[in-house]
Amino acid sequence: MLPKVVIHNSISLDEPLTNFEPNMELHYRIAGNYKPQVHLIGSNTVKVGIELFAKRRDTPPSECTGDQLGEDKALKDYHAKRDFKATAEPQGSDEKTKGTSKIFVVQEHQARRLHYDFRLERDGVLKSWAVPKGIPENTADKRLAVETEDHPIDYAQFEGTIPEGQYGAGTVTIWDKGTYETKVWNEKMIEFTLHGKKLTGRYVLVRLKRGGDKNWLMLKGKE
């Protein structure tokens, strides 16, 4: 059984290791199912591999932001669903949005069924929802919004046709875009103000209790 690795401000072992060579890779389970790599330096000192969360060592991976996990990990589901040799969709880049304002985009998606993809920039990615009946434009409308995988920031500029046989096959066009300000963002509710060409003012996303944790209700808030 491997000795425990204690991670605080320093990294040490509960007891010295024997019969191990320097720089041998060890694996130990911490933070649930997360398994970082550590490299033996001396008999009771280890160096943690880059997969450990350097910015917040004591935070479980499920609670880390997209920036802390790194864009590749944050976009794992996005990449897994696409063949970038066949689709012109962006793979993601290190380019960040300019200025302090966060962006939003709504893309009309003529796929098997017409729907609108609503995206908010957060933690280095675009948090995304598919809205089958379109974004509400008055306070009487209540629209189902189904949370989908995170998208790269440069997807906000994407327009074009996704080929048949590819995930989300169909034509994508930008319906509206702009910036937004967050008032509340938690597990149950997201409240924000949009500054777009078509969409302006206060909006709310509320997570529904039934239908799985991916289903939200989108409403136009009263000013």
Each residue's pLDDT tens digit, 128-161:
999 999 999 999 999 999 999 999 999 999 999 9
Same domain, 111 and 202: yes
Same domain, 129 and 56: no
Question: Which residue among 68, 87, 114 closes a domain?
Answer: 68
Q: Which domain holds residue 127?
A: 101-220
φ and ψ at 121, to 5 degrees? Answer: -70, 130
Residue 9 maps to a domain: yes
Question: Which residue among 68, 90, 125 closes a domain?
Answer: 68
- Tens digits of residue pLDDT in 52-108: 333 333 444 444 444 444 456 789 999 999 999 999 999 987 666 666 789 999 999
Residue 75 maps to a domain: no
Same domain, 130 and 203: yes
Residue 169 maps to a domain: yes
Same domain, 119 and 182: yes
φ and ψ at 89, to 5 degrees? Answer: -60, 145
Q: Report the predicted TM-score, pTM, of the whole model to 2 decimal places.
A: 0.68
Nearest to 150 by CA among 73, 56, 54, 61: 73
pLDDT of residue 209: 87
Angle (nearest 5°) at CA 42 between 40 and 46:
40
Q: Which amino acid is at 218?
A: M
The number of domains in the chain is: 2
Same domain, 107 and 215: yes
Residue 116 maps to a domain: yes
Residue 78 maps to a domain: no
Question: Which residue among 15, 44, 68 closes a domain?
Answer: 68
pLDDT of residue 173: 98
Same domain, 112 and 180: yes
Q: Report yes or no: 175 and 110 within 8 Å, Cβ to Cβ.
A: no
Same domain, 64 and 109: no
Same domain, 109 and 215: yes
pLDDT of residue 35: 42
Same domain, 146 and 203: yes
- Backbone dihedral region of 69: left (phi > 0), alpha (psi from -120 to 50 degrees) or beta? alpha
Q: What is the dihedral of CA 109, 142, 176, 68, to 10 degrees?
A: -80
